[in-house]
Amino acid sequence: MMDPEIGKSFKSPIKHSWKSTLLLAYQSLGVVYGDLSISPLYVFKSTFAEDITHSETNEEIFGVLSFVFWTLTLVPLLKYVFIVLRADDNGEGGTFALYSSICRHANVCLLPNRQVADEEVSTYKLEAPPEKNNGSWVKIWLEKHKKLHTALLVVVMLGTCMVIGDGVLTPAISVFSAVSGLELSMSKDHHQYAVVPITCFIIICLFALQHFGTHQVGFLFAPVVLAWLLCISALGIYNIVHWNPHVYQALSPYYMLRFLKKTKKGGWMSLGGILLCITGSEAMFADLGHFSYAAIQIAFTTVVYPALILAYMGQAAYLSRHHKIYTSYQIGFYASVPESVRWAVLMIAILASVVGSQAIISGTFSIINQSQSLGCFPRVKVVHTSDKIHGQIYIPEINWMLMILCVAVAVGFRNTKHMGNASGLAVITVMLVTTSLTSLVIILCWHKPPLLALAFFLFFGSIEALYFSASLIKFLEGAWLPVLLAFFLMTIMYVWHYATIKKYEYDLHNKVSLDWLLALGDKLGIVRVPGIGLVYTGLISGIPANFSRFVTNLPAFHRILVFVCIKSVPVPYVPPAERYLVGRVGPPSHRSYRCIARYGYRDVHQDIDSFESELIARLADFIKLDSSYDTCESSCSVERGERGLTVIGSSSSLMGHPNFEIDVSMAPSSASVEFPGDVNSAELEPVSNEKRVRFFMDDYQGSDLELEDKVREELEELCDAQGAGMAFILGHSHVRAKPGSSFLRKLVIDFGYNFLRRNCRGPDVVLRVPPASLLEVGMVYVL
């Protein structure tokens, strides 16, 4: 279900009425099923490109129809609708949702700066495992071998890269196949000069309009796809009745065996074309967060699946009575369309192909944004195109790159055969990744026996491996493109992630002690200037080295000092009431704080103005709550230690929780999160090997509390500092490999990462920091 407000990222589970579920099912047609519904345009044409021929016996066409029917039944219907859709992550789907669920149930995440407090986010839910967990040995094995953590991330990156590759190929093959209907109305000499230019024009227009967003025309998507599905259903019924009413017999698996027995190697190679009938199936899972499980299930089982089966049966019925095939378009979709309605069908097909392309383009933007939030993709500018509908984003640099690549594919390949080979390999690779990750979810998250997960993996994995092999054999005939794109993108993602982790380790190793900060005073010539200084760092404790470098070169810092850490948590959304962790750095008199802002991989990052206001409000709330001042400031152990961090949020956001107390086992940790017990709070105290979580739900009337003089003074200073202005202190990194490093390490860091860092957006652009308030501190990282 789409969020009505961009700032309202957290979605609590809602039970929809039948009316709202049916409405969501109708809306899902335009967003989820655009790509899948236009596959009849090119499946038969790609399958009969050259590996097999259509003979008088009809064994080939009936065999292909049988393969299409059972592939649609087993993969989209059985695997996705009834199994994979249940592996959601708080209602969200997709590759990162599976990875996020696995990371929360097993310690395999490679994200830095993890905290015990992250596990207390309400969306970080863990199902209580049974006393005897059959999959515990799998979890232990995964956690024990660090190389498996990297291998798991590489698999996720591979799936992500293939989704991005599909974002290049789908618009090209969809629009090209729709426009190719002109072939039947033009001579061969004319149509070859018309189809490609028209395709390129539509693709360019499609990408040029992306920055406007889809919210203004999105209401047209569902009617267009529904009209298309009704159209192909009607054409299918007409062709079945008119040409071959007995075509239903070809749905028997017997015809698959006859097909393979007759065609042998050619039939196996043609599976790469049959595979295209399930392209777009992954969207059912990837777009789950915008709708609901019931809505997507209803839409597919009652509308999409029957329409596709009728469309393929109709084409097969027509071809079973037409065997004189001289050109490729005589076996394509438009050949079975009666001439009287061909132009109308052509127009609907072009509109449906545009809708299907738009869905995959939006999905590409979304998965790149998720990759960036998890530190697996270089920084890019993310523009939110709608203030009302959450999740509609636009990434300018990615948009233009996709457009150039799409046009290049259309101009370079010029036929559905090569485009289909390329698209098929990308699609089936994503499905293999989903099958692998879902198998781990079955064991780790659902706590099912490993044998059940193995059966799931072998059954669906063997089907997909068969199609994968048929697609990979077409490497020189177009399938090389997704492999090349995936290799290029995976190299970028891995280099960026590797250097990001190494930079964090360097910061962690070189952070400055709290004693150093507290020793800075008038005696050392340090001046505290009016205003608020926000020091951005990836660390969740300690003083970052870039701040010590800043003070060394400019012996002054602001009266109010806030160390800000913006971190990602392996959940889709962090509720706004649980986003901020606030604590003190040093004694209250030092006026230094630490604020950790936590975001999920689908969360919308606030613009800088709202973030400033929110941060100041949360600091003020923390000051009001933190009434436990040090009574003896001379006590070094108290004065020089960092206080526990407190989750600061509105009391109304916590009122939905009942009073309860739970104990959960955990590994020992030094992190702590504290809440004062006299207000609405959740108190976490790590005690050796277990922690106790208490929620106190007393009424809190903040306006009725009498503030102490020290609290009032601190709030006044905060208000005065806000009026004096706010400065953003960011590190400007220069990275080089340490002496004696291997050639590969130097290549990755000195050339690869530095090239990406110089040519991608800086952190100030991503954080939307105003240039007038920016202070950059140069830092040399020797990794």
Question: Is the model's pLDDT at 218 over the cut of 50?
Answer: yes
238 token code pair = 């007409």
Q: How confident is the model at residue 524 (pLDDT cuts 50, 70, 90)?
A: low
Confidence (pLDDT) at 135: 57
Q: How confident is the model at residue 187 (pLDDT cuts 50, 70, 90)?
A: low
Check if the beta carbon of residue 415 is closer than 8 Å to that of residue 431: no
- Rounded (5°) CA angle 154-359-407: 85
Q: How confident is the model at residue 186 (pLDDT cuts 50, 70, 90)?
A: low
Percent of the chain residues topping a pLDDT of 90: 43
Edge-to-edge strands, sheet with 681-687: 661-665, 690-696, 681-687
DSSP assignments along 501-567, one per residue = HHHHHHHHHTPBPHHHHHH-SGGGT-EEEEEEEEEE-S-SSSB-HHHHHHHHHS-EEEEEEEEEEEE
Specify the higher pLDDT residue, 523 or 344. 344
Could you list the beta-strand ranges (E) of 569-603. Answer: 580-584, 592-599
Question: Is the model's pLDDT at 479 over the cut of 90?
Answer: yes
Confidence (pLDDT) at 216: 65
Lowest mean pLDDT among 109-123, 438-452, 492-506: 109-123
Confidence (pLDDT) at 231: 96
State the average pLDDT over residues 372-387: 83
Pick the closest to residue 653 from 10, 1, 127, 13 (CA basis).
Answer: 10
Calpha distance 544→536 (Å, rounded): 9
Calpha distance 322→204 (Å, rounded): 37
> What is the per-residue pLDDT across 583-619, written as a single tens digit (0 to 9) for each?
998 888 889 999 999 988 888 777 777 788 888 999 9
Q: What is the mean pLDDT of the chain?
A: 82
Q: Which helix (H) or strand (E) holds 383?
A: strand 383-384
Confidence (pLDDT) at 328: 57
> What is the per-residue pLDDT across 266-294, written as a single tens digit (0 to 9) for each?
899 999 999 999 998 988 898 888 788 89
Q: How confident is the model at residue 660 (pLDDT cuts 50, 70, 90)?
A: very low
Q: What is the largest CA-CA distance in the chain?
A: 98
Lowest mean pLDDT among 326-330, 383-387, 490-494: 326-330
Calpha distance 366→399 (Å, rounded): 12
Calpha distance 25→291 (Å, rounded): 8
Q: How confident is the model at residue 50 (pLDDT cuts 50, 70, 90)?
A: confident
Confidence (pLDDT) at 109: 86
Mean pLDDT is highest, among 179-188, 245-254, 533-542, 687-696, for: 245-254
Lowest mean pLDDT among 379-393, 444-458, 642-656: 642-656
> What is the per-residue pLDDT across 417-447, written as a single tens digit (0 to 9) for each?
899 999 999 999 999 999 999 999 999 999 8
Question: Is the model's pLDDT at 112 over the cut of 90?
Answer: no
Count of other CB atoms within 10 angstroms of residue 401 = 14
Burial class (CB in 10 A: 0-12, 13-18, 19+), 518: middle
Confidence (pLDDT) at 134: 56
Confidence (pLDDT) at 290: 78
Confidence (pLDDT) at 40: 94
Q: How confident is the model at residue 13 (pLDDT cuts 50, 70, 90)?
A: very low
> What is the per-residue pLDDT across 506-522, written as a single tens digit (0 to 9) for each?
999 988 888 887 777 65
> What is the per-residue pLDDT across 130-145, written as a single tens digit (0 to 9) for each?
445 555 788 889 888 8
